[in-house]
């Protein structure tokens, strides 16, 4: 009788204690699922186990998976990954949203050249994952002929970074590597590019850099909002996506001085002036 009692007690313990599994198998293949809570060491807590997460695990949480790559899918993000010529994009196995948001930040300051530039390569019809948005903006402006006032606003004017100056027509000419681009003039992208350092996440080996989601990515989060929100709520208390209002996307809108925004409460997108201050959130790729 005692032996049967011990077996029953042991089984009960196993049923009550959640089992947290690694997101990667021994062959380094991924087994991510939508709603997985990703931890710093690369392990995951599944959506079904979210309510059993410990305080230590909450402290180690990095994000929540909202998309898992499957070559058989026919959505825009899957097609973008499959057809991309960028090797980092081709390696993407999943995408996850971070656990923090930035309140009231602008896409670009009104005085910047980027505010009035139509970045056609990052419009929603072209860019389905926001990983490359900042490099497109940077490369479009770094090397562009700017007026003296524009240069002094866009670039750091330290002695090491003086631009070439054409005395004949009074224009500063910037070249790649000749002038330090001032990212803080683009607060949205500065937030994404500094997210890892600000949150001590620079050493994560299983993930790519943090970026601002594209419209397609926001729509994918919305498709899985119940699961994603459930896992977010298990870890943090201030990430109710539907109540936070509009979020910036990384996509250029049709109007040169506007960019796309997404609203979870209405499940729809619109555009706003790049100087408008609204919500920002970052996401990251899992390889």
pTM to 2 decimal places = 0.82
Supply the range of the domain harboring residue 89.
20-142+179-286
- Asked whether residue 173 is assigned to any structural domain, the reply reads no
> Which candidate, 54, 50, 79, places its Cα nearest to that of 64?
50
- Asked whether residue 58 is assigned to any structural domain, the reply reads yes
How does pLDDT run across 46-65, given as a tens digit for each residue?
999 999 999 999 999 999 99
Domain count, the chain: 1
How does pLDDT run across 74-88, given as a tens digit for each residue?
999 999 999 999 999
> Which candidate, 154, 185, 153, 147, places its Cα nearest to that of 275?
185
- For 32, the 3-state DSSP assignment is coil
Q: Tell me the CA distances in angstroms from 264 to 56, 115, 138, 154, 224, one per residue in order.
A: 30, 25, 29, 33, 11
- Asked whether residue 163 is assigned to any structural domain, the reply reads no
CB within 8 Å of 109: residues ≥ 6 apart: 115, 185, 186, 187, 275
pLDDT confidence band for 143 (50 / 70 / 90): low
> Which candidate, 221, 244, 241, 245, places its Cα nearest to that of 233?
241
- Asked whether residue 126 is assigned to any structural domain, the reply reads yes
CA distance 57 to 70: 28
- Asked whether residue 10 is assigned to any structural domain, the reply reads no
């Amino acid at each position: 009788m005692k032996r049967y009692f011990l077996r029953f007690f042991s089984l009960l313990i196993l049923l009550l204690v959640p089992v947290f599994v690694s997101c990667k198998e021994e062959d380094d293949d991924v087994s991510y699922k939508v709603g997985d809570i990703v931890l710093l060491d690369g392990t995951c807590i599944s959506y079904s186990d979210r309510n059993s997460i410990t305080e230590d695990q909450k402290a180690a949480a990095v994000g929540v998976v909202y998309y898992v790559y499957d070559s058989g899918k026919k959505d825009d993000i899957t097609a973008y990954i499959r057809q991309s010529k960028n090797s980092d994009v081709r390696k993407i196995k999943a995408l996850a949203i971070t656990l923090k948001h930035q309140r009231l930040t602008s896409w670009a300051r009104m005085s910047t050249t980027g505010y009035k530039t139509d970045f056609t390569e990052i419009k929603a019809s072209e860019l389905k994952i926001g990983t490359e948005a900042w490099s497109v903006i940077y490369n479009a402006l770094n090397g562009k002929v700017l007026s003296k006032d524009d240069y002094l606003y866009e670039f750091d004017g330290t002695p090491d970074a003086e631009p070439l100056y054409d005395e004949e027509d009074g224009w500063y000419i910037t070249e790649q590597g000749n002038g330090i681009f001032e990212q803080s003039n683009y607060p949205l992208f500065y937030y994404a590019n500094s997210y890892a350092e600000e949150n001590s996440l620079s050493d994560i080996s299983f993930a790519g850099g943090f970026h601002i989601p594209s419209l397609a990515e926001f729509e994918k989060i919305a498709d899985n909002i119940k699961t994603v929100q459930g896992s977010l709520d298990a870890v943090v208390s201030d990430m109710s996506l539907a109540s936070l209002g509009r979020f910036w996307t990384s996509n250029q809108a049709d109007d040169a001085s506007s960019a796309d925004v997404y609203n979870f409460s209405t499940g729809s997108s619109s555009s706003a002036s790049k100087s408008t201050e609204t919500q920002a959130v970052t996401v990251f790729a899992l390889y």
